[in-house]
Structure 1
């Protein structure tokens, strides 16, 4: 029974333990290695948490700034693209108007060329009639048909007036053709 402590010894051991506990309780906590270790561990953990919070806060601010900058860039780029689209639409509209105008000018040029051909034929016909009338007047006078010669002179005057009008129309058509050809170049 030497291995098992007696009641007196057990009580003495328990009393000794209680004295040590009282001594440790009376001592300031910073002198207790267990308490100091716990406080140091807490402070280290707190410092790491504060560092992580500050780092996360800075990162959040940086990301917010990047997001704001990218948002502004996208907005600016969107506005530039919208302006470019508007400019291109105006160019398309202008090109379509020019194409329509060119088509109208081409059609008018075809009509003017046709008119020129008609006026040239009319002028040639009038010049031929005038030449025939001038040749027939002396013939009528030789034959003694003075009334017919006078009527032919009246017709000649009318035909010459008609020729002058036809030549004026031919000239106007020729000028208009030159204008249209210049526009279409």
Structure 2
């Protein structure tokens, strides 16, 4: 009787673990013809270089991303499957972030990881806000900004890539493990 109680508890705990799922994302480059139709006239694409189109597949949704370089800044604009604007942003360095915000981001990363290396930081603007494209290209610091940080870190012995989203004050909103790049080519 004693062993049946222990066995039952182990089976229940194993069953709960089986139902938990992690959210994985994968981004790959696509052709312009595969990108949803959008109004290109509203985008200030003069003097831009390297316009590229990407499709990000997630467990819950599909996002299309337009990436380009304007001046020395690398921008991205995200759309859903119907071509509606979701969010915009650009790459920043740690000197471009307010010092107290960056200090909170680092302290949060140090509490979650044994060892970290920041691969890149993006400053993002929500697509639902008014004048989102104007705010993005003027590099405005708004209280609705978020920072998307790609981190390579150790939670255990194994180093893995994680994507962390922080608000404008540096508080952690979301963290998920990132998938490795897709290796569909033959390795020799």
TM-score range relative to shorter protein? under 0.3
Q: Looking at CA atoms only, which structure, 1 or 2, has the larger radius of gyration?
A: 1
Q: Which structure's residues are more often strand, by fraction?
A: 2
Normalization by structure 2: what TM-score? 0.24
Specify which structure has the bigger relative contact order, considering alpha-carbon pairs within 8 angstroms and separated by 6 or more residues.
1
